[in-house]
Amino acid sequence: MRRRLYFMVPDTRSARQIRDELLLARVEDGHIHVMAKDGTSLDGLREASVLQKTDFVHGAETGLAVGGGIGIIAGLVAVFFPPAGIDLQLVTILLTALIGAAFGAWVASMVASAIPNSRLKSFESAIAAGHVLMMVDVPSGRVDEIKKLVAAHHPEAMSSGVEPTIPAFP
């Protein structure tokens, strides 16, 4: 399991130095992402993806649950009150639940992709002021090691906490 560490650094130069040190500490480049104000040059740094910048994942999870629940209810109604002349099996409930879950996840994730990530709300003012947010995904056993490494070499990098878990597929 990985944990996401957040570091707020003053500029992209510091972010590049920290990224280089993390690479030497065997943190894969694909697990180091940055967010900065629009127009900031991020040469050599991996910009955060839509999955990290928006509430896409949370929306998909919510839509999956709500759509699945509505699908089950629709399936139950269809089975116990079938249309005239049609004999529906219990598998109808499963099918409507699956279709509802898929549709709900799709619709909710599309809506949520336009909403900024609620977990990053506390960093918005610093990013707007020109600072760079680094998101580093590390194995849970290395959290303290990485925090100490960054703090030792870069006192300007303010550790802004640890996210308890990161989504499985960002």
* pLDDT for 151: 85
Sheet with 32-35, edge to edge strand ranges: 32-35, 132-139, 2-9, 158-163
| pLDDT > 90 in the chain, percent | 34
Band (pLDDT 50/70/90 cuts) for residue 158 is confident
C-beta separation of 50 from 71 below 8 A: no
Tell me the pLDDT tens digit for each residue of 6-52. Answer: 889 888 888 899 899 999 999 898 999 999 888 888 888 888 888 88
DSSP letter for 143, please: H
* pLDDT for 139: 87
- What ranges do the domains of the chain cover? 2-53+119-163, 56-112
Band (pLDDT 50/70/90 cuts) for residue 93 is very high
* pLDDT for 164: 58
* pLDDT for 84: 82
Please choose, from the candidates 66, 15, 7, the residue with its C-alpha nearest in 3D space to the C-alpha of residue 40: 15
* pLDDT for 72: 96
* pLDDT for 170: 47
Average pLDDT, the chain: 87
Highest mean pLDDT: which range of 27-36, 62-71, 73-82: 62-71
- Topology at the third CATH level for domain 2-53+119-163: Alpha-Beta Plaits (3.30.70)
Does residue 97 or residue 118 have the better pLDDT? Answer: 97
Output the pTM of the full model.
Answer: 0.74
